[in-house]
Amino acid sequence: MTPTIIDTDPGIDDALALLFAWGSPELEVEALTTVAGNVPLALATVNAWRVRELCRPAPAPVIAEGAAAPLRRPLRTAADYHGQDGLGDIGGWPETPERVASGQAVDVMIDAARRHRRRLVLIAIGPLTNVALALERDAEALRAIGRLVIMGGAVDVPGNVTPDAEFNIHVDPDAARRVFEAGLPIDLVPLDATRQAILRREELSEALARTPGPVAERIAAFTAFGFRERGADGTTGLTLHDPLAVGVAADPTLATWDRVRLIIGADGETRRRAGAPNCRVAVGLDRARFVQRFLERLCPRSA
Ligand code: RIB
Ligand code: CA
């Protein structure tokens, strides 16, 4: 099993990514680090706790809280896409305890990087503020990890918050620029790939019907809000942005990759440039194999 840390701003697709990670035997998720993005930090941390409580993975990953705002620009959230509470505004979650987080995100990231070095996979599925702050503290430790899998960017396709920028990179372009210039082993999963992974409502319903129970009911409820994207084939679906980052962290062969040099624009654009590559970019996807594996692993065996 690969020691794994997931940096997240839960969000509906983040929640699915966490459940998918806990159902993936290749990954041993030892920590969730939270960052402001889809929702303000405090809510991102509570939502990470809610999803962990829903699935009760063993061993339970620690939850460590990170940055409440981007490095320089004001926070922009995505309540219109994820609901005011970030998980589809369904309510009915367990009462949140006084203390949910047990540590600071940057401390946890650097400690894991120093302990695991080449074995560690860090999956970043929110704005890159925490990763940039960890770089500031100990760049050598971060450069020694195995892979940094980032959901973000729009390389050869339009953005989803501006014509050229994707949300995670747009929210904190200063952090993203530091991360892409630091010589890290980046595997980028941009909209170019995630838009090939739009889950149809009936695909999810059929899978959840195979594992009836409280977990499946909560998944059906909190995802309902997210089924609003129109796929190329005209169906409505939920784009599996963050789950795809987890999928390729566990099995890179699900995607095809280009080695690319990217620079980060002032508003979070991710542009190709000539020169030495600074990342691998997922460009193609075996959708059938990915969606089947995602659905098989989504509802934990213990549920
Ligand atoms: O653009 C998609 C990304 O932005 C995903 O990580 C989603 O959760 C939002 O954070
Ligand atoms: Ca996210």
C-alpha span between 120 and 258 (Å, rounded): 22
The predicted structure's pLDDT at residue 230? 73
**Residue 170 annotated in active site:** no
Using one digit for the tens of pLDDT, what is the confidence trace for 184-229? 999 999 999 999 999 999 999 999 999 899 999 999 999 998 887 7
Using one digit for the tens of pLDDT, what is the confidence trace for 1-19? 999 999 999 999 999 999 9
Own/partner pairs, 139-145, CB within 8 angstroms, 24+ separation: 139/182, 141/110, 141/113, 141/114, 142/109, 142/110, 142/113, 142/182, 142/184, 143/182, 143/183, 143/184, 144/113, 144/114, 144/117, 144/118, 145/113, 145/116, 145/117, 145/118, 145/120, 145/121, 145/184, 145/185
C-alpha span between 60 and 83 (Å, rounded): 27
What is the residue with the minimal CA distance to atom 10 of ligand 1? 126
Report if pTM > 0.85.
yes
Kindly indicate the confidence band of residue 303, based on its pLDDT and cuts at 50, 70 and 90: very low
CA 134 from centroid of its chain's CA atoms: 17
Q: Is 10 in the pocket of ligand 1 (CB under 6 A)?
A: no
Using one digit for the tens of pLDDT, what is the confidence trace for 228-272? 777 666 777 999 999 999 999 999 999 999 999 999 999 999 999
Is 302 a residue whose pLDDT tops 60?
Answer: no
Using one digit for the tens of pLDDT, what is the confidence trace for 133-175? 999 999 999 999 999 999 999 999 999 999 999 999 999 999 9
User: Which atom of ligand 1 is the closest one to the Cα of 168?
Assistant: 4
C-alpha span between 270 and 278 (Å, rounded): 12
What is the domain partition of the chain in residue ranges? 2-298
Q: Look up tokens 């959708």; give the residue.
A: 287
User: Which atom of ligand 1 is the closest one to the Cα of 12?
Assistant: 8
Q: Which of 55-64, 67-76, 122-131, 166-175 has the lowest mean pLDDT?
A: 55-64
Q: How far is the CA of 191 from the centre of ligand 1 (A)?
A: 10
Q: Looking at domain 2-298, which of 3.40.50.300, 3.40.50.2300, 1.25.10.10, 3.90.245.10 is its CATH number?
A: 3.90.245.10
